[in-house]
Amino acid sequence: MSDESDRSLADRLSLPEYPRLPEYPRTAGYDPEWVIANMMGPNPLWLLEALTRDLELSPGMRVLDLGPGRGLTSVFLAKEFGVQVWAAELWVEPTEIFRLAAEAGAGDSVFPIKAEAHDLPFPHGFFDAVVSIDSYHYFGTSDLYLDYLARFARPGTRIGIVAPGLTAEFDAGVPEELSGLWDPAYYSFHSPDWWRRHWERSGRVDVEAADLVPDGWRLWRLWNEVCPLPEDPAIRELVRNEHELIRTDQGRHLGFTRVIGRFR
Ligand SMILES: C[S@@+](CC[C@H](N)C(=O)[O-])C[C@H]1O[C@@H](n2cnc3c(N)ncnc32)[C@H](O)[C@@H]1O
């Protein structure tokens, strides 16, 4: 997506047209109203589709979906790739995820579990893939975390994450034009290079990719424009601030970081 195509993309993103966004053909098959009603961050299906292009999922695999919120990504994984998904989630109750998956026709292959990411109730060596969309930065920035998580995956399998990120670390502090909009929580956003080093140092994975989702900031901004603001006044203010941050930045510093590693 170039600057020239930006406007036409914005035009095409009006709700009736959104499902046909050609860059994301799998996501196009899902009702945008359903995505908006159940998402907890910028369109998780776009982010997951960008990730799964390089993840090599195949039917019957056991996949850990870490922090799936209400379960959109778990449904997508089950339906698009025929995998079995363990939806390990902290803030949303398993019953809510089960209901969503069952209504979407994926009730037999999505298994919701209430879980804290540092206290996972799974056998060691159980998973054929680990996926985390817009969640891993909440718990995975500690130097110790990947070492803990690796025990649940079979050696040789992959982990892939997409999270809000930076084009490069802010070594000289938050850029001036963003400082008035900066929330301390955003310090959990990191660059592809930061994640590569972070994972390589763990000794638990070989990093196969660490990059930015192409034009991710545009998708982020356009999705913000499509979605209604939340009704809760405090959350509304936070979200409005984030929208302003993305609009102001214009992709200079912010985007979505995508990281894929293979467990040793
Ligand atoms: C912004 S939401 C994203 C949810 C979903 N992936 C989506 O995009 O709609 C962040 C998710 O991270 C999960 N999370 C945050 N801290 C966690 C922790 N310590 N253990 C497990 N999950 C955690 C929350 O439960 C929440 O669902």
Instruction: Say yes or no to pLDDT of 9 above 60.
Output: no
Query: What rounded mean pLDDT belongs to the chain?
Result: 93
SS3 string, the chain, reads: CCHHHHHHHHHHCCCCCHHHCCCCCCHHHCCHHHHHHHCCCCCHHHHHHHHHCCCCCCCCCEEEEECCCCCHHHHHHHHHHCCEEEEEECCCCHHHHHHHHHHCCCCCCEEEEECECCECCCCCCCEEEEEEECCHHHHCCCCCHHHHHHCCEEEEEEEEEEEEEECCCCCCCCCHHHHCCCCHHHHHCECHHHHHHHHHHHCCEEEEEEEECCCHHHHHHHHHHHCCCCCCHHHHHHHHHHHHHHHHHCCCCEEEEEEEEEEC
- The CB of 73 under 6 Å from ligand 1? The reply is yes
Ligand 1 pocket check: which of 39, 40, 45 to mutate, most ligand atoms within 8 Å of Cβ? 40
**Top-confidence residue, 9 or 177:** 177
17 vs 246, residue with greater confidence: 246
- Structure confidence at residue 4 as a pLDDT band (50, 70, 90): very low
- How many angstroms is it from 116 CA to the middle of ligand 1? 10
Could you tell me the pLDDT band of residue 17, with boundaries at 50, 70 and 90?
A: low
**Measured from the CB, is residue 97 less than 6 Å from ligand 1?**
no
Query: Residues 183-212: what's their mean pLDDT?
Result: 98
The average pLDDT across 229-249 equals 93
Distance of CA 132 from the midpoint of ligand 1 (Å) = 9
* In the chain, % of residues over pLDDT 70: 92
pLDDT of residue 14: 58
Domain 3-263 of CATH type 3.40.50.300: no
Instruction: Decide: 45 in ligand 1 pocket, CB within 6 A.
Output: no
When pLDDT is cut at 50, 70 and 90, the band that residue 22 belongs to is confident
**Ligand 1 pocket, residue 91 CB under 6 Å:** yes
Percent share of the chain, pLDDT over 90: 84
* 68 ligand 1 Cβ < 6 A: yes
pLDDT, tens digit (0-9, with 9 covering 90-100), for 168-179: 999 999 999 999
What is the structure's pLDDT at 229? 87
pLDDT surpasses 70 at 11: no
CA-closest residue to ligand 1 atom 16:
138
In the reported structure, the alpha carbon of residue 74 is separated from the centroid of ligand 1 by a whole-number distance in angstroms of 13
Say if ligand 1 is within 6 A of residue 48 CB.
Answer: no
Say what the pLDDT of residue 2 is. 45
